[in-house]
Amino acid sequence: MSPTMVEHSGLDIMCLNKYCHSSSSSSSSEHDKKVFSKLKQSLSGDYPRKNAEILSGQYGTNVLLIGASLMLAIAHHGPAVKEEHLLSFVTCLMILQLIWMMWYILVRDRQKNSRTEKDVHATTCWIRGGLTLLALLSLIMDAFRIGYYVGYQSCVSAVLGVYPVIHATHTIAQVHFLWFHIKDVIKSFETFERFGVIHAVFTNLLLWCNGVMSEAEHFLNNHKRRLSALGYGNLTIVHSEPHCNCTTSTCSMFSSSLYYLYPFNIEYHIFVSAMLFVMWKNIGRTIDLSSNQKRMATKTQGLTLGPILGLLALASTIGILVVYITHVEESLRMRQSAISMFYIYGMVMLVFMCSASASGLLIYRADHMPLDTSKNPSRQLDTELLFGSSIGSWLMSWCSIVAVLGTNSSPPYRWTNLIYSLLIVLEKYIQNLFIIESLYRQQEDTESEDPELPAAPEIFSVTSSLAPPYNGIINRAYETPDRTCVTMENEQEESGEVYRCPRKPSEVPLPVGNKVVDPPNIKRQILKNIAVFLLMCNISLWILPAFGCRPQYDNGLEQETFGFSIWTTVLNFAIPLNLFYRMHSVASLFEVFRRV
Amino acid sequence: MSPTMVEHSGLDIMCLNKYCHSSSSSSSSEHDKKVFSKLKQSLSGDYPRKNAEILSGQYGTNVLLIGASLMLAIAHHGPAVKEEHLLSFVTCLMILQLIWMMWYILVRDRQKNSRTEKDVHATTCWIRGGLTLLALLSLIMDAFRIGYYVGYQSCVSAVLGVYPVIHATHTIAQVHFLWFHIKDVIKSFETFERFGVIHAVFTNLLLWCNGVMSEAEHFLNNHKRRLSALGYGNLTIVHSEPHCNCTTSTCSMFSSSLYYLYPFNIEYHIFVSAMLFVMWKNIGRTIDLSSNQKRMATKTQGLTLGPILGLLALASTIGILVVYITHVEESLRMRQSAISMFYIYGMVMLVFMCSASASGLLIYRADHMPLDTSKNPSRQLDTELLFGSSIGSWLMSWCSIVAVLGTNSSPPYRWTNLIYSLLIVLEKYIQNLFIIESLYRQQEDTESEDPELPAAPEIFSVTSSLAPPYNGIINRAYETPDRTCVTMENEQEESGEVYRCPRKPSEVPLPVGNKVVDPPNIKRQILKNIAVFLLMCNISLWILPAFGCRPQYDNGLEQETFGFSIWTTVLNFAIPLNLFYRMHSVASLFEVFRRV
């Protein structure tokens, strides 16, 4: 419940009071005037929160949909809509966002004396650091784009030159915003700021879509080229090369390097938009201070098996990537053996990942602890994104399974593909459970001196905003402390809440020694190892499709069952989601690693 | 916070206590045994709520995705996957759901002595009545399907006969379930029931997808037939007619009537799945009893303009539908005039709808009232569905706008198409705001005798689940009632909550007369008229595409810009969503009509 709401209801009652008196005593013209002034006042007043959310959310969605419809028109390669149109639209959006960010920063700077509330859960240093790295790679990409434009200057639209300049400015400004303002809880000009933030969210989402589209087209052209080379022929490859010669010697280098930088640019935009979305969710929120505490520092003792296995996975992944990319371009037999190799490697990885996640879940089952249900938009979004982005990969896997079961041809990798796809479904299923449970479990406070009551502060925190703190004190004046405790516990249980009485020191058995703290620590060390291992495995599984290892294009089984156009549509939808899933689970697993 | 959680934390502390003692006194083998039995016990115990949600949600999503991949394979018309495969899969799912529903009903019947909690917000008589009607039409459809199967018995798969029989049984059982159990708040076997309910949700969603696919294919074939007739030629129409002659004389009648019943069947399944989803959300929830009250009866006085205008819209719609369908099959000129007529009619409708929604919003702005923020999964879902299903239609409109602006050809309906599309975007934007604000506004209690305290029960309801009810009683034993009130208010205000003390009758000023209730009644009457008008307009806009008036297929503008395959993909995604949007807003507007 926000303070605004309370104010509104107060206002409402006042108005009604006035109204009662006036209607019984005054004339109707005066009454009309009053109604009019009331109307005017209400229209200029703050909009209720739910409506402001819908209002701005709908605006953002429509901005994205305009971009999406332009992209669909471009995908047709018709004469009407060209890439320039989309780029100018995106450039306008970025300029708008720049203006808003400038305005926001200026306003904040002038209000410096009044402290802004911060939501510490909104992001971590690690994520911001990672994003800064991704932003740097994006800047390099912009530099390449500018270079490319300079080379072809005479025959390409000026938009192709303006776009990278604005994009670079946008990237720098946005990184500054991320470092200094992303945690802000906005409480002034709420409705206007909502529009600003959601505009930023959807501008980044559109930039993501744009990157995904460019990348998908690149892969599709590669795929068509391979099919033509294998004699399937008859597929038109659309080249978007300009119609003049490059004036510098580096144009082809620029355009081919771009595709190695795309994956980073894509991840950058989707992550920023997720973080801005959390900021949007936080607008006008009343932060519960008790749960808004800094986390403890990360401890790295006992980390051996996880990192070693993870590095092993990472190294073998890079090997597989190189072998796959070189082999898949060659003869049919080499191609088939490369695909088989990929599936076998994938199966080994996934079996390990499944068992790691499953043992993590088993540890949690053996160690009951209530979940932390306090409000936390960032965590909520993490959960939904994990779940939502799994859908792409699940759809792809089920399609593969249907294709394997339905096909008549029998390449050597038919059954390994089936098992691999089943494992992909299972692995995401278990990993999601593990990550979400880890994020929702209450953090144990290792600094606690009292091993008897490790759960007490957490139980309290769940309900601390609900439990009237004066209660005990008032009662205690009339009853003995012990009796109070009993009554309170009974009361709270009936109303569905529990909190513990502070025990008297004499009742608490003294800690027997350091030994008793060990076992949870062993559990925690295992969990930390699992998290690190899963993190590195997810990086591996991100690297493979991001840099061109996509057997779903190459194995031909699914294409036979679903046809070229349906299957490429599925892949164009599923692969970007899958890439995002892997990156997002890396970030979540890092969070898990720091929490356990 | 669920009671389960409380139990867990209790258990946890117990375990820890035991553990402390044992580790200091007993041998390590005994300790191992204990750990093992603890593990076993914990594994068999109840799963935390959040995880159970994710666990079952992921299961349901995967069931849907298996179905989706089968459908994609069928859409390719390849040799591997046939419609029989999908139908047998869906039949299995329905049988599973039947078994679960039977089990559920049996268990409830045996527990009859212990009252089950109900969530009165979950659904209304009106919606259930409407669904029963839709279910009856679905049953007729099943009868037609059985008749069709009997005719072609000799050459079609037996699955085509089994499917309608199971579907009919499923429909009857499900309607029974809707009437007697949909409001239940499940508190026993939570994890298992979660799987049952989510299975039902996704089975219905899959049946919806299946219906949508059949309908889309029907329209696509119609469209291709028309294009061929106009000389565009070269499009293969896939006929799924069986390879033998019908033994009865009614086969063609059955198969052509099916397409008029599809829209109802489709709406039935999506609505049922939304209601079951609310039931799933309610599992294990603690219902706030104070906000769980029956609504007042609907009053219909002062309803004139809205219904009259609405009926006018409905009548003209049916006229337009008939003219459109007959004209669009004829010469190019007739076709173009039919399309122009549709757009002009649509513009008039949408302008009226926009102004109605906008005036509704203005009335709300003039009449401040805090929004009701109490937890209500049903309303939450309504909001999200309205918002989500608008996306389809918005995408379609923006694509039209891009096509109109980008095209070189200039048919007579070019600019009317542009304005129509812009109005569609605007209308959904404003209508969503109006409906959502109406649903979230607190209901004024007209039966209240006390005009001074209109907001009091609402303020109470926001926090009533948080305020410990025993408090006052205990305190009152020691203090005078008046002093208790003061302390309580202070306490609650400091902990961020507010609730009011029951005033003594002597303190409450007497109502001044009936006159004071009049003005809000005028507002309310206007709102009621708006709601009825919008409701009928939405029915009109549902009827048109549902029964074949789809100018997006016929006008050719978008197809030119986006190409045949991209544009039909967009339509296949957007039109079903749009149909659902219209039906869903009808249901929501009815709810609005009853609330204001």
Look at phi and psi of residue B77 and say left if phi exceeds 0, alpha if psi is from -120 to 50, else beta: left
SS3 B184: strand
B 175-194 residues with CB below 8 A of A?
A: none
Helix axes B83-110, B190-229, angle to 10 degrees: 150
Say if residue B248's pLDDT is above 80. no
Specify the higher pLDDT residue, B27 or A32. Answer: A32
- What is the ipTM for the molecules in this complex? 0.76
**A517 and chain B in contact, CB less than 8 A:** no
B205, with CB counted inside 10 A (0-12, 13-18, 19+), is buried
Query: In which band, very low, low, confident or very high, does the pLDDT at A372 lie, cut at 50, 70 and 90?
Result: confident
With CA atoms as reference, the chain A residue closest to B474 would be A475
Write the pLDDT tens digit of every residue in B40-79: 554 445 567 778 888 899 999 999 999 999 999 998 888 8
Contact A373 B1 (CB under 8 A): yes
Residue B436, chain A, CB below 8 Å: the answer is: yes
A440 and chain B in contact, CB less than 8 A: yes
B385 with B268, same domain?
A: no
Query: Which residue on chain A is closest to B518 by alpha carbon?
Result: A23
Residues of B with Cβ-Cβ distance to A39 under 8 angstroms: 365-366
Nearest Cα of chain B lies from the Cα of A81 at a distance, in angstroms, of 6
Between CA B72 and CA B238, with CA B555 as vertex, the angle to 5 degrees is: 35
What does the pLDDT average to over B461-471?
35
Q: Using the structure block, give the residue that is written with the tokens 């030629």.
A: B233
Contact B368 A45 (CB under 8 A): yes
Q: Is residue B15 part of a domain?
A: no
Whether residue A5 and residue B495 make contact (CB cut-off 8 A), yes or no, is: no
Q: Are residues A206 and A337 in the same domain?
A: no
Q: What are phi and psi of A118, to 5 degrees?
A: -125, 145
Buried b / exposed e along B342-371 (16+ C-beta atoms within 10 A): bbebbbebbebbbebbbebbebbbbbbbbb
Q: How far apart are CA A81 and CA A73, in angstroms?
A: 6
Assess whether A185 and A304 both reside in one domain. Answer: no
- Residue B293: its pLDDT value, please? 54
- Lookup: tokens for B79: 């040799």
Query: Is there a single domain that holds both residue B267 and residue B334?
Result: no
Task: Show the domain range for B216.
Answer: 38-112+125-232+246-285
Measuring CA to CA, which residue among B132, B439, B508, B186 is closest to residue B295?
Answer: B439
Provide, as residue numbers in chain B, all residues whose Cβ is less than 8 Å from the Cβ of A565. 565
Residues B311 and B369 in one domain: yes
CB–CB contact B469 A495 (8 Å): yes
Cβ-Cβ contacts under 8 Å, A406 against chain B: 73, 78, 80-81, 85
Judged against a pLDDT cut of 80, whether residue B271 lies above it is answered with: yes
pLDDT in tens, A88-115: 999 999 999 999 999 999 988 887 766 7
Q: Does residue B305 sit within a domain?
A: yes
pLDDT reported for residue B290: 59
In the three-class reduction of DSSP (H, G, I as helix; E, B as strand; rest coil), residue A157 is classed as coil
- Calculate the alpha carbon distances from B24 to A256, B21, B28 in Å: 67, 5, 10
Alpha carbon distances (Å) from A122 to A181, A380, A435, A441: 11, 11, 18, 18
List C-alpha distances in Å: A227 to A221, B322, B412: 10, 49, 44
Do the Cβ atoms of A468 and B471 come within 8 Å? yes
Q: Do residue A73 and residue B1 have CB atoms under 8 angstroms apart?
A: no
pLDDT at B476: 38
Tally of domains in chain A: 2
The answer to whether residue A155 sits within a structural domain is yes
- Which residue, B143, B173, B174, is CA-closest to B161? B143
A154 and A54 co-located in one domain? yes
Task: Provide the 10 A C-beta neighbour count for residue B170.
Answer: 24
B430 or A304, which is more confident:
B430
Task: Residue A177: name the closest of A110, A97, A263 by CA.
Answer: A97
Are B280 and B359 contained in the same domain? no
| Spatial contact of B327 and B543, defined as CB atoms under 8 Å apart | no
CA of B344 vs chain A CAs: smallest distance (Å): 24
Interface of B with A in 44-73 (CB under 8 A): 45, 48-51, 54-55, 57-58, 61-62, 65-66, 68-70, 72-73
CA B224 – CA A369 distance, rounded (Å): 61
* B211 and B276 co-located in one domain: yes
For residue B151 the two structure tokens come to 């005719």
Q: Using DSSP, state whether B118 is helix, strand or coil.
A: strand
Tell whether A432 lies on the interface with B, counting CB pairs under 8 A: yes
Tell whether B563 is covered by a domain: yes
Whether residue B531 is found in the same domain as residue B421: yes
Q: Is B277 part of a structural domain of the chain?
A: yes
Closest to B69 (Cα-Cα) out of A585, A569, A496, A499: A569
Helices (H), A441-563: 456-463, 470-476, 481-494, 518-546, 551-554, 557-562
CA–CA distance from B144 to each of B88, B140, B141, B150, B161 (Å)? 19, 6, 5, 10, 11
d(CA B585, CA B596): 16
B76 and B200 together in one domain: yes
> Using one digit for the tens of pLDDT, what is the confidence trace for A135-170?
999 999 999 999 888 888 888 888 999 999 999 999
Q: Tell me which DSSP letter residue B455 carries.
A: S
B383 half-sphere exposure, CB direction, 13 A CA radius = 19
What string of DSSP letters covers B241-272?
Answer: --SS--SSTTHHHHHHHHHHHHHHHHHHHHHH
What whole-number distance in Å separates Cα of residue A133 and Cα of residue A340?
Answer: 35
Q: Which of A347, A86, A78, A341 is nearest to A207 (CA)?
A: A86
Q: Is B185 found in the same domain as B320? A: no
pLDDT of B372 strictly over 70: yes
Interface of B with A in 335-394 (CB under 8 A): 365-371, 373, 383, 387, 390-391, 394
Check if B478 contacts A (Cβ < 8 Å). Answer: yes
Q: Which residues of A touch B14 (CB under 8 A)?
A: none
Bridge partner residues of A117 (DSSP) = A185
- The pLDDT tens digits for A576-585 are 999 999 999 9
Distance of CA A166 to the CA centre of its chain: 25
Q: From B128, B152, B148, select the one nearest B140 (Cα to Cα).
A: B148
- Give the separation between CA A293 and CA A287, rounded to whole angstroms: 11
Secondary structure string (H, E, C) spanning A312-355: HHHHHHHHHHHHHHHHCCCCHHHHHHHHHHHHHHHHHHHHHHHH
Tokens of A212: 């995904």
Contact A88, A159 (CB under 8 A): yes
C-alpha Rg value of chain B to the nearest Å? 29
C-beta atoms of A452 and B519 within 8 A: no
Q: Is A584 exposed, middle or buried (0-12, 13-18, 19+ CB in 10 A)?
A: buried
A498 touches chain B (CB under 8 A): yes
Query: How many residues are there in chain B?
Result: 596
> What b/e sequence results for B512-530 when a residue is b if at least 16 CB atoms lie within 10 Å of its CB, and e otherwise?
eeeebeeebeeebbbbbbb
Give the pLDDT confidence of A413-462 residue by residue, as tens digits. Answer: 999 999 999 999 999 999 999 999 888 887 655 444 333 333 333 333 33
Q: Distance between CA atoms of A231 and A225, rounded to whole angstroms? A: 10
Residue-wise pLDDT for B305-338, tens only, equals 889 999 999 999 999 999 998 888 888 888 889 9
In a domain, B268, yes or no: yes
- According to the model, what pLDDT value does residue A512 have? 42
Give the Å distances, CA to CA, from B574 to A504, B216, B398: 65, 11, 12
Locus of tokens 């018309």:
B77
Quick one: three-class SS letters along B539-583?
A: HHHHHHHHCCCCHHHHCCHHHHHHCHHHHHHHHHHHHHHHHHHHH
CA neighbor of A203 nearest in space, from A240, A238, A166? A166
Number of residues written out for chain A: 596
Q: Which of B:100-139 have CB within 8 Å of A?
A: none
Let me know whether B305 and B206 are in one domain.
no
Q: Name the pLDDT band for B281 (thresholds 50, 70, 90).
A: confident
B213, B386, B398: which to substitute to probe chain A, counting the most A Cβ within 10 Å?
B398
| pTM exceeding the 0.80 threshold for the entire prediction | no
Mean pLDDT of all residues in chain A?
A: 78
Q: What confidence tier does A5 reach under pLDDT thresholds 50, 70, 90? A: very low
Residue A429 CA: distances (Å) to CA of A9, A389, A536? 46, 12, 18
Q: Does the distance separating the beta carbons of B561 and A20 come in below 8 Å? A: no
pLDDT, averaged across chain B: 78
B206 touches chain A (CB under 8 A): no
Kindly state whether residue A428 falls inside one of the protein's structural domains. Answer: yes
> Beta partners for A371?
A441
B81/A406 touch (CB, cutoff 8 Å), yes or no = yes
Does the residue A390 lie in any domain?
A: yes
Alpha helices in B111-158 (DSSP H): 125-152
* The pair of three-digit structure tokens given for residue B90, joined into one six-digit string: 């869906």
Q: Are A403 and B1 in contact (CB < 8 Å)?
A: no
List chain A residues with CB under 8 Å of B453.
Answer: 13
Which of A54, A444, A448, A461 best probes binding to B when mutated, by most B CB atoms within 10 angstroms? Answer: A54
| Confidence at B110, pLDDT banded by 50, 70, 90 | confident
